[in-house]
Amino acid sequence: MCGIVAYLGQRRAQPILIEGLKRLEYRGYDSAGVAIRCADGMHLAKAVGRIMMLENEAALRSCDAGTLGIAHTRWATHGGPSVENAHPHTDASGKLAVVHNGIIENHSALRKLLEQEGVVFRSETDSEVLPHLFAKYYRGDLAEAVRQGLKEVRGTYGIAVIHADNPDALVAARNGSPLIVGIGDGEFVVASDASAIIAHTTRVVYLEDREIVTLTRDGFSTSTIDAVPTSKEIQEVEWDLEQIEKKGYAHFMLKEIYEQPESLADTTRGRIDIEEATAVLGGLRAFAKELTRAKRIILTGCGTAWHSALIGEYLFEDLARIPVEVEYASEFRYRNPIIEDGTVVVAISQSGETADTLAAVREARNKGALTLGIVNVVGSTIARETDAGVYLHAGPEIGVASTKAFTSQVMVLFLMTLFLGRRRHMAHHHAVNIIQALTRVPDQVRDLLKQDGHIEEIARTYKDRENWLYLGRGYNFPIALEGALKLKEISYVHAEGLPAAEMKHGPIALITPDMPVVFLANRGLQYDKIMSNIEEVRSRGGRVIAVATEGDEEIGSHADHVIRVPDVGESLQPLLNVVPLQLLAYHVAVMRGCAVDKPRNLAKSVTVE
């Protein structure tokens, strides 16, 4: 993993491939490479580090006339970052080149077999078995060679393959790793992410698992790995190029934090029926009866999506009165979960391609559960493989650390709670109050962003601290987790989120003088308890940063710093409280000189298990 771009057309391939790789930089990578088919053979260039390093290398070694090529950004999985381990990989002749996302699980066995046949490997990667395997079956028909080779492969892959003897053919295939074919005017752009395509075309085809596409200058055809022809619908990508530009912001993450008033409004637009006091979710309409009769809901996701699921648990149980369990998607399939009649499994993923979450969906479906997806990317694998679902409509999120997708996930879970609650136990007047409060949230977030300067000064005070604690109760416990995760992801500072009551059961031993402790201290049922926790920290010399309710005069005498948020009901507090924590993490990371949009060792979409 992590990013694939391939081109076949009439224009020079090299600048298109390099531009595509730059648009995939946000996914994270440690090396990159490009292969271009030229009149005198295959031209290959690789570099460790940023795309600029590759661009310098490619400019020296590539050909101007080549109109067919493949490129890749890699996050190391098998073998460390090196030129040898970077993609594309080639066969012994140097004529067949492959880029690969995913993991070949049986690569060791295939490697031994190929070595016995005289193949000499040049890298430590699992991916290098692919070009040698395809070359073994190549007899002039590239698609057939790929098809025969993939029959021996066990694992996940998104691949693009070219051959120096086939100037008019580009072959791509997927199994568990996303791949999109962009269809332009006399040209094709294949990529693992639509952001590398939309500068050239918005017309795309999404490949399914175990599906292969053969692209020529005359058109394209798709089939299964077993050579059964398939029919594909050409779809329109809903994002445009302007949406994925920074628009003057220093980082994509900051831009996306500031986009939350609009993204939250977009998430709710057309989805609220004020007269009936309910949510209108067209993606769930066909399953309304099954959802109304549901006996249990399992919410599953990874990372930030798992935190939104925790908030969903509070919402569904508190307001819709449905029993809920929250599962790490990475653990769900391996613990033989009990799926009884009436169980609904809801998978949450920004990209809709998260490998662990997709595996959880498949396990749930195999066990007979109704599966729903909450995703941001239209046409993504989870969107296609679940029975129904709801799109976030948050717009493209480029920063690796999720911000606007998280708040849109929480908003969708709120809408689903209304949708189910009104069909079960929620009274009309109660729903009206919730809807009125929800419609105010975008403007409240917009006002919160005006405190950016104040939050930046708090960050400046504690930017050099290496240990932070985030504490909250009830609905705000997941926000404590999310605030800590944001700081860890982009500033590389150790941070821990906890239910505030758990601090005294061990973690209180971590409190040292001047240690920053962030409290979610809104007015609510557990306000007095939170105040007691604050005093426990203060008595040990900890420095208190409190997110507190506007108008709360008491908190000022108990906290070193106060960030004010609007006075809303407890169920709505997560949507507001998380915004200052996003800004706090952002400013700490910038002041520490970290790569905010491309944090080390992280990828935007984790497509390997």
Q: Do 293 and 447 meet the contact criterion of CB atoms below 8 Å apart?
A: no
Say which residues have a Cβ less than 8 Å from residue 450's Cβ, sequence separation at least 6: none
How many residues are recorded in the chain? 609
The one catalytic residue among 2, 38, 302, 594: 2
Give me the phi and psi of 236, to 5 degrees please.
-100, 130
* Spatial separation of the C-alpha atoms in residues 552 and 543, rounded to whole Å: 19
CA dihedral 8, 9, 15, 18 (to 10 degrees): -20
Tell me which DSSP letter residue 164 carries: T
Report the DSSP beta bridge partners of residue 273. 278
Q: Which two tokens mark 339? A: 């799926």
Q: To which residue do tokens 């073998």 refer?
A: 79
- Other C-beta atoms within 10 Å of 272: how many? 16
2: annotated active-site residue: yes
486: annotated active-site residue: no
* Spatial separation of the C-alpha atoms in residues 456 and 495, rounded to whole Å: 18
Q: Which two tokens mark 396? A: 């493209």
Beta strand segments in 312-385, E: 324-328, 343-349, 370-375
Identify which of 88, 89, 70, 91 has the alpha carbon closest to the alpha carbon of residue 135: 91
Helix, coil or strand: residue 242:
helix
Q: Do 336 and 327 meet the contact criterion of CB atoms below 8 Å apart?
A: no
Report the DSSP beta bridge partners of residue 99. 160
The one catalytic residue among 255, 488, 598, 604: 604
Q: Which two tokens mark 354? A: 């998260």
Residues with active-site annotation: 2, 604
